[in-house]
Structure 1
Amino acid sequence: MDHSESSPSTKTQVHSSSQRNDDFEEQEQPRMAFSEAQIKEATQREHNMSIPTAFRLYSKAVSWSIVLSTAVIMEGYDLLLIFSFFAFEPWTRKYGKLQPDGTYALSAAWQSGLNNGASVGEIIGLFINGFVAERFGYRKTMIGALFLTIVFIFIPFFAPTVEVLQVGLILMGIPWGIFQILPVSYASEVCPVSLRGHLTAYINLCWVIGQLISSGVLRSLLTRTDQWSYRIPYALQWMWPVPLIVAIAFAPESPWWHIRRGNRDGAKAALHSLTARHTDDAVDLEAAVEVMAYTNKLEEKATKDASIVDCFKGHNLRRTEICCFTSITSIISGTTLMGNSTYFFEQAGMDPTNAFDLTMAQYAIGIVGIVFAWLIMTRFGRRPQYISGLFLQFIFLVGIGITGVVDPGNKNVSWATGALLLAFSLVYQSTVGPLCYSIISEMSSVRLRAQTTSLAWNVYNIFKIINGVLTPYMINPTAWNWQAKAGFFWGGLCLLSFVWAFFRLPETKGRTYAELDILFERGVSARKFASSSVDIFSSKLYEESEEFQNDLILPSDRRDNVIRNEKRGDGDGDGDGEMVGGHRVGQREDLV
């Protein structure tokens, strides 16, 4: 949106967006009140922004989002090591016990303990993130978590016993919990609506890349039988944190974080660092900050203290429910079989080499699936993609269960089980896997994002702990020995997830955060979110509060009166406009 310059005598000049951005300085400047029409226009401009244009204007935001998300590659790598080591002979010889058949294995109880140790640490990390990130910012919190990672890696690397290894995994889980949520929040706040889904879904791609690297590293070490066959994978974890710390030190803070702290100038400076300048269609920093301020004020009126208790009040309770159940459905819909795939394939009758090869194929297919997810979400949105994914996963899980009933010892049947799990992986990574990140980050309100997303991912980790207890018993031959029949159990839970999503999961595609606030405030049903029209100034909180209107923007009727008074010379006589609601309104030809 371009503005014409006022007369030379006007002390507060308003330049065109490109001129203003060229001359941008980070010092505090007199604030120009915006009209409802201008904020609506800025919102509409974001709606109309195509994906290529968004990439061009927000290329720096995309780059910084990718940098922060790289930490998730490290987490995906680390976590898969735990599951894969259960099928890694040198590791089981070190930490397991000799079995009657002459092999070494870790008991189901210790497998559950190691699986859950990292999850316990992640729960601690998520709660820490909810407070620390809002106090110190995303950038500093991320750097602190990376420093902790460097220190905690020493414990599993030198662990002499499984008990020490357990302590190390719990401590390493603390920064992993921060990595689990912070890059998603950052991506959702620095990118425009058209890129929000892609950049938050990219987090899932980072997970899969990390898991693929982990599988490849272990596959390359299968021929080694000494202690370095499992120490090298641990040592490789040190290659991630230092480069990331150096890069993130230069990253801009989220502009939304500045807005939540009442720092408009900081938000404007952050946007300046995140967007392209010197272009005719450069982002209007003033208008973008004003839309953020309006959204924040709207939520501030509804959520006074922005504490975790507010997540369970009013319409925020519904948003919390959606975030938490989305995280639950992503973990109880059979994904635990993917995480334990190497061990699962071995128990289904494959030799270790084929099991690791098929696991690598699973994650390679997952990368292809995420690319499909980006293409699908652009056209169809979150809700239909998520729901259809759950239904297809249910079908494949039932198929896996059937292979466990039909001649389970047959080699051909074990390959059929593997093929079905690969198909399941493709569907999951095309739908539920990446979309759960997008949905959780978009459903939470801006002011309660840290608290709501921390709750959602903590619920996820609680259910992951439950899965971590159950799954080893399901597929371990020394316990329940269900093997592929576990597909029936997870298929039933996947069907329940499908039913919940059909009735409760709204569509967020193409919605700004202010629009989502109003849709939740109105109590619009999940199936009508996509078709509902929204005026961002239709909120009761805005309409019923003159203080809100005066503090944030200048409504159109009062704006026009001020401009007419200035033209008649009824202002203060200095050509500077009138102070309304604490803001100076200058002569602006675009408002006349």
Structure 2
Amino acid sequence: MHPRREKDLNSGRPHVSSEVKCFPRKRGYDFTMFGFDIEFRRHRWALIYCSISAIGALVFGYDNTYYSGILGMQQFKNDFGNHYEDGAKALATDFTSLTTSSIYIGDMVGALIAGLLNDRFGRKIVLWIASAFVLAGGVTQVADTNIESIIVLGRILIGLGVGNFTVTSLLYIGEVAPLEIRSPVLYMYQFLQSCSQLVASGLTQGTNSIESFLSYKLPMGGLIILPLILLVFLPFIPESPTWYVFRGRPDDARRSLAKIHRNDPTYDPSADLSFLEQARRYEETQGEASSWLSLLLDPIERKKLLWAAGGMYAQQICGIIFFYNYGVVFAEALGVSQPFTITLITMILQIFAVAASILTGNRLSRRTNLLSSTSLILIAFIVIGGLGTQTTLSTASKYIIVVFSYVVICAYNFGLGPLTYAVTRELSVGVNQNKIMSVSIVALYFFLWLISFTAPYLYDNAGLGPMVGFVYAGTTLSSLAWVWFCVGETQGRTRLEVAMFFTDNVPARRWKTHVFVNPVVDEKGEMGVGVAHVENSA
């Protein structure tokens, strides 16, 4: 028997004390929408704090899109191009690939160090650090004088900030958002990305007609605004109470909980604090202290890591970044008129798709959503690849390819985009949660980089053109495999329940209906009662 299992059987699981308070819900605070009991007034400050931390999502989305836009600007090509195509200056494939993908080097390093920084310094300090990196990178890009290496340096610095943002924002949201709204708030991470992508797309379209370096410098400078906004509000948000408890600072955790619940006059932090302490003790009984080595050697920790990181793999390996980084270039290569307008339509569609995912998230199981939406992505890529086999694309074929590109965008933003953030965050439990999240986000950016770096070579150098859809159809099959084998229903489950799924080796397909013979679950599930929430969302 594995030593962790033996220890679990010998020691038993902690249970919720009878002193844990359940507070009757005030009907005046209720607001139910598509199955979500939002209770905006009761959770107002938690939502505000989570929104501030999620500014990192705005940075991520903006950067992913604005650079795609400036790659299609003739003024940018004039300043950085090294050869001519059809009488106009053009960018080298090496330049496009290196400058587009270099940010992911910074992303991966930033995400990797984020685990260490979060363990030691907490969430707020890491958000300060991330903001500083993005500011430095943004200023470097704006100050550049047509030197490729400076562009690359600026994008690596931005990546260091974005990597720290992604890990830390998701950790913070998962630890501060009440259980009742944890899922939609985590989905909002993708929604905010989509909003900033729309802004970036609109800005690049608006500046495209400027016949000077300002056409691309203005979108570059727009990136600087977001971390400045975060720096203004950061002093006012509380540190994660979960981090305080795991650092042995219960008094600070109590103050943090009180600040999060300042809107609720009936709130007593004792219940949440008690549960957080019990969760910490339970996780400590399951193995050794947090360590990187245990992620490889301990079979349960390794499984958590593979399943959580698999979500970020599945999100990106399907090739979605091709449409964001090279969308304008792709449309131009197809000979479609007004490529910037087509990209802008893409951004608008994705916002509606993510919004639909948020609103139906409590009605449609994640497994069903992911299986159906990912299958639709697979079919769309096959159609795109099939049309690309024509020697000469007709006008109708070009627009059909664009339409099915929209299908990929919508299906992705309804399923893999928002849901994998939530699933990955909720699978990252136990004493190694910071490290699991860190490695998962490293996986996200590694596969972002891989697809981003190889896309222009596959499309141009390998001569695949739209037939690149066949390549991404193949990679999407592996995303489907992750959904089938690794996606269990975590919505509405507590931190302890998810941890117990792993220690009890419950198959993912049974998570939705599995019942624990444990007072923790019974206490949470009473009808008509609101249970103190932070312990359930860490």
Instruction: Label 1:212 to 1:521 Cα distance change in 2 as closer, same or farther (>3 A).
Output: same
- The correspondence for 2:205, drawn from 219, 223, 232, is 219
- The correspondence for 1:338, drawn from 323, 346, 352, is 323
Tell me the residue number matched to 1:52.
37
Secondary structure at 1:380 match in 2: coil
TM-score (norm 1): 0.80
Secondary structure at 2:72 match in 1: coil
AA aligned to 2:476 is: C
Tell me the residue number matched to 2:526.
none
Secondary structure at 1:262 match in 2: coil
Tell me the residue number matched to 1:274.
260
AA aligned to 1:343 is: V
Instruction: Label 1:309 to 1:523 Cα distance change in 2 as closer, same or farther (>3 A).
Output: same
Tell me the residue number matched to 2:382.
398
Secondary structure at 1:55 match in 2: coil
Secondary structure at 1:104 match in 2: strand
Instruction: Label 1:78 to 1:53 Cα distance change in 2 as closer, same or farther (>3 A).
Output: closer
Shift of 1:461: 1.6
- The correspondence for 2:513, drawn from 528, 531, 538, is 531
Is the Cα contact below 8 Å between 1:395 and 1:491 reproduced in 2? yes
Tell me the residue number matched to 1:38.
18
Shift of 1:303: 3.7
Tell me the residue number matched to 1:10.
none
Give a deviation string over 1:213-271, Cα, whole Å, max 9, x none.
11111101121121111111112222222221111111011111111112222222111
Give a deviation string over 1:130-188, Cα, whole Å, max 9, x none.
11122111112102221232222221112221122112111221111111221111111
Distance 2:395 2:43 in 1: 52
Instruction: Label 1:500 to 1:44 Cα distance change in 2 as closer, same or farther (>3 A).
Output: farther
Is the Cα contact below 8 Å between 1:222 and 1:229 reproduced in 2? yes
- The correspondence for 1:329, drawn from 293, 307, 314, is 314
Shift of 1:536: 4.1
Tell me the residue number matched to 1:264.
250
Tell me the residue number matched to 2:70.
85
Tell me the residue number matched to 2:490.
508
Is the Cα contact below 8 Å between 1:57 and 1:283 reproduced in 2? no
Is the Cα contact below 8 Å between 2:144 and 2:150 reproduced in 1? yes
Shift of 1:35: 7.3
Secondary structure at 1:508 match in 2: coil
Shift of 1:59: 1.5
1:106 aligns with 2:88: no
Instruction: Label 1:471 to 1:226 Cα distance change in 2 as closer, same or farther (>3 A).
Output: same
Tell me the residue number matched to 1:287.
271
Secondary structure at 1:57 match in 2: coil
1:350 aligns with 2:336: yes
Tell me the residue number matched to 1:517.
499
Tell me the residue number matched to 2:231.
245
AA aligned to 1:517 is: A
Give a deviation string over 1:311-342, Cα, whole Å, max 9, x none.
23131211111111111111011302321211
Distance 1:267 1:471 in 2: 47
Instruction: Label 1:446 to 1:66 Cα distance change in 2 as closer, same or farther (>3 A).
Output: farther
- The correspondence for 2:82, drawn from 84, 94, 97, is 97
Tell me the residue number matched to 1:373.
357
Instruction: Label 1:132 to 1:40 Cα distance change in 2 as closer, same or farther (>3 A).
Output: same
Distance 1:475 1:157 in 2: 30
Is 237-246 or 364-373 further displaced after alignment? 237-246
- The correspondence for 1:154, drawn from 139, 145, 154, is 139
Shift of 1:200: 1.1
Supply the RMSD in Å over aligned alpha carbons. 2.2
Secondary structure at 1:445 match in 2: coil
Is the Cα contact below 8 Å between 2:99 and 2:155 reproduced in 1? yes
Larger Rg, first or second structure (1 or 2) = 1
- The correspondence for 1:385, drawn from 369, 372, 375, is 369
Distance 2:143 2:309 in 1: 37
AA aligned to 1:121 is: G
Distance 2:420 2:427 in 1: 10
Identity over aligned pairs, percent: 21
AA aligned to 1:166 is: V
AA aligned to 1:115 is: T
Tell me the residue number matched to 1:466.
450
Tell me the residue number matched to 1:576.
none
1:302 aligns with 2:278: no
Shift of 1:423: 1.6
- The correspondence for 1:456, drawn from 415, 440, 448, is 440
Tell me the residue number matched to 2:474.
492
Is the Cα contact below 8 Å between 1:515 and 1:536 reproduced in 2? no
Is the Cα contact below 8 Å between 1:43 and 1:512 reproduced in 2? no
Distance 1:319 1:228 in 2: 47
Distance 2:81 2:191 in 1: 33
Is the Cα contact below 8 Å between 2:43 and 2:263 reproduced in 1? no
1:58-207 aligned at under 5 Å gives the runs 58-160=43-145, 161-207=147-193
Tell me the residue number matched to 2:419.
435
Instruction: Label 1:504 to 1:244 Cα distance change in 2 as closer, same or farther (>3 A).
Output: closer
Distance 1:177 1:438 in 2: 17
Q: How many residues end up aligned between the 2 structures?
A: 497
Secondary structure at 2:307 match in 1: helix
Is the Cα contact below 8 Å between 2:81 and 2:89 reproduced in 1? yes
Shift of 1:276: 4.2
Is the Cα contact below 8 Å between 2:327 and 2:343 reproduced in 1? yes
